Amino acid sequence: MRIGPYEIHSIETGRFALDGGAMFGVVPKNLWSKTNPPDEQNRITLAMRCLLLLHEDGRKILIDNGVGHKYSEKFASIYRIDHSQFTLEASLLEYGLSTNDITDVLLTHLHFDHAGGSTKVVNGEVVPTFENAKYYVQNKHYDWGKTASEKDRASFIKADYEILATSKRMIFLAGEDCHLPNIRFFIANGHSPNQQLPIVYDDHRSIFFCGDLIPTMTHVAVPYVMAYDNQPLVTIEEKKHVLNQAVKEKWILFFEHDPATVGATVILDDKGYRVGETQSF
């Protein structure tokens, strides 16, 4: 798929699992389990899917990067992390690229399943994974991560991003201006304060990177809101705003966590918002 100056590709980095009840909040299990079957521990399978944007001038932009490989056996067991089928490195290689080729990394937010791949361990030392890249995050979100609430503190792992700030690899942003061509942000606060969700656009179409605002196709339905969210009522209002724009302007939603569906358009009918035509890219 091409939008503006970018050739766009979906990048798979691995799979993991989270509690189904937490993923769907107040929605009963007998509803969400129809499309998201849980395992014996009530966990559902989730993707860690990213976007690769290849600019015609040679710039190579990655949006999020999965959990990485720094985790312990205990951590991998809790979250059922699985790299047997997909890794970031192997997915980049399909396009003839390595991590050294990436020039810009847009981080929606700093939770471990979105930013964990930002760093790696070499000879016992945490170093940037993308040696030649700048990393972009909202300044207020970074500040939140340093003093996060008891509710989401466990999702922030300093080894994923602290070295990026101290080594001056991190570009701190404020608001929707991305400083990259044909990309702007929608700033969402319901899940975690100042989550920056990229919109890649031209005069003909737009892709909305859903991040943790609409993590899976199932979450297109407005009441499906994660218990992980800091402010679920704010999430609902943010979802309605985005979904309204998606219907009106025929946006393609990109699902970071849906294990089967990469993207889709949105339809509004008498039953509410629902998925329209699915997309692959």
Per-residue model confidence as pLDDT tens digits over 46-102: 999 999 999 999 999 999 999 999 999 999 999 999 999 999 999 999 999 999 999
Q: How confident is the model at residue 229 (pLDDT cuts 50, 70, 90)?
A: very high
* 3 state DSSP class of 203: coil
Average pLDDT of the chain is 97
Closest-CA residue to 77 (of 37, 115, 118, 43): 43
% of residues, the chain, pLDDT over 70 = 100
By CB atoms closer than 10 A (0-12, 13-18, 19+), residue 38 is middle
User: How far is the C-alpha of 83 from the C-alpha of 80, rounded, in Å?
Assistant: 10
pTM: 0.97
Cα separation, 185 vs 210, whole angstroms: 11
Segment 210-233 shows an average pLDDT of 97
Residue-level pLDDT at 119: 98
* pLDDT cut 90: percent of the chain above it: 97
Confidence category of residue 208, pLDDT binned at 50, 70, 90: very high
Measured distance CA(232)–CA(225) in Å, rounded: 7
Confidence of residue 281 (pLDDT cuts 50, 70, 90): confident
pLDDT band at 280 (very low <50, low <70, confident <90, very high): confident
| Residue 129 in this model has a pLDDT that exceeds 90 | yes
Please give the pLDDT value at position 114: 98
Section 142-162 average pLDDT:
94
Residue 31 has pLDDT above 90, yes or no: yes
